Amino acid sequence: MLYTQSFVFNPFQENTYVIYNDKKQCWIVDPGMHNEIEITHFFNYINDNKLIPQAIINTHTHLDHIFGVAAVKDKYNIPFGIHEKDLPVLNGASGSAMLFGFDFKKAPEPDFYIDEHKMLQIGEDELEIRFVPGHSPGSITFYYAEGKWAIAGDALFSGSIGRTDLPGGNHNQLITSIKSQLFTLPGDTTIFSGHGPSTTIGIEQKTNPFLT
């Protein structure tokens, strides 16, 4: 069985997630720790709960979702995975940082690519990968059917959708992704978003003003 723990980091109030199993193995999703206080807080959680990091897996690679990748890789020597189509976004992160006034060195290169046509092995469990481009070219969602939850990055929020005015964004593509890849999930599926509170597919189908 897989479980999740969330954290809110950096000036963008980004949600970082830890997925862990009964063996204390864990996978870190979208590490957004921005300063030493946030990094220490995150590492203390891993240590206090005796978790064993296995990999970093990102829903996408906008700046606020990768601030902590280098620190996690350096600390635990674990691989970093993204969807291949988000590589241009990753490579442009340092330039984006300059526009927002952040001092950010080039992000680490990915160690593997996540393929939406294959299940992602997480210990003895599996995550289904849903390809949801639109917010970024390589945005993906991690869906865990047994637990009735999905980590959707910045594709879908409670009452909103991801912005599409950044390089690589496409509004029509995002709407299509949500309706074909997320709204086809069961209505009681909990959506853990990249910002803000969690929601459910059923709630967003009925009330999201961008999608109703």
Give residue-wise pLDDT tens across range 59-89: 999 999 999 999 999 999 999 999 999 999 9
Question: Is residue 91 a part of any domain in this protein?
Answer: yes
Question: Is residue 159 a part of any domain in this protein?
Answer: yes
Question: Is residue 212 a part of any domain in this protein?
Answer: no
Question: Is residue 62 a part of any domain in this protein?
Answer: yes
Task: Return the SS3 of 35.
Answer: coil
pTM: 0.97
Q: Strand pairing partners for 7?
A: 16
Residue 101 has pLDDT above 90, yes or no: no
Smallest CA-to-CA distance from 46 within 79, 13, 81, 71 is with: 71
- Domain CATH code at residue 72: 3.60.15.10
Checking DSSP bridges between strand 25-29 and strand 112-113, what pairing results, if any?
A: unpaired
pLDDT value of position 103: 76
Q: Name the domain count of the chain.
A: 1
Question: Is residue 114 a part of any domain in this protein?
Answer: yes
Question: Is residue 23 a part of any domain in this protein?
Answer: yes
Question: Is residue 72 a part of any domain in this protein?
Answer: yes
Residue 95 has pLDDT above 80, yes or no: no
- Alpha-carbon distances of 112 from 58, 118, 166, 169, 210, rounded to whole Å: 11, 13, 25, 23, 34
* pLDDT tens, residue by residue, 24-67: 999 999 999 999 999 999 999 999 999 999 999 999 999 999 99
Instruction: Give the domain extent around 126.
Output: 2-207
Q: Tokens 């069961």 correspond to what residue? A: 186
- Binned at pLDDT 50, 70 and 90, residue 114 comes out as very high
Task: Return the SS3 of 18.
Answer: strand
Smallest CA-to-CA distance from 149 within 117, 192, 107, 179 is with: 192
